[in-house]
Amino acid sequence: MNYNHFYKNIKTIAIVGLSDKPDRPSYEVGKYLMDQGYEIFPVNPNIDNFLGIKSYKTLSEIEKKIDVVDIFRKSEFVGPIVDEAIKIGAKSIWLQEGVVDEVASAKGRAAGLTVVMNACMMKKHKEVAYR
């Protein structure tokens, strides 16, 4: 996969499982992506906002077109998130480090989505940006 091309062609990222706790990996990644100029949409029914950005309970509540659904949930919860990502017309699904679901990933690919699994969106961006 050409990550340089990938990052240049995305603008909106919905982060499912984004935490408002600074010590959590999702917080660090969300802040980093925001600082890089991406428009992020927190998806977590347990928080009201992330650094002042409204949090959504589900992907379907977001009214803007989403390029990437970045998933910070345990692997067993990925299937329904991928189904919803397909339903909203997302272009890509990104499963963070340690998140693996071969069945959901295959379903995403079959629906025409780019799927990245078991990788950190921030680390990959840094690899491309700082070569």
Residue 29, pLDDT score: 97
Residue 131, pLDDT score: 62
Task: Check pLDDT > 90 for residue 129.
Answer: no
Q: Identify the structural domains of the chain with CATH numbers, from first to last.
A: 3-129 (3.40.50.720)
Q: What is the largest CA-CA distance in the chain?
A: 37
Task: Check pLDDT > 80 for residue 106.
Answer: yes
Task: Check pLDDT > 80 for residue 84.
Answer: yes
Residue 1, pLDDT score: 86
Task: Check pLDDT > 90 for residue 62.
Answer: yes
Mean pLDDT of 40-56: 97
- How far is residue 32's CA from residue 22's CA, in Å, rounded to a whole number? 12
Task: Check pLDDT > 70 for residue 79.
Answer: yes
Burial (CB count <10 Å: 0-12, 13-18, 19+), residue 78: buried
Mean pLDDT of 54-65: 97
Task: Check pLDDT > 90 for residue 46.
Answer: yes
Q: Which residue type, as a one-letter code, is found at position 45?
A: P
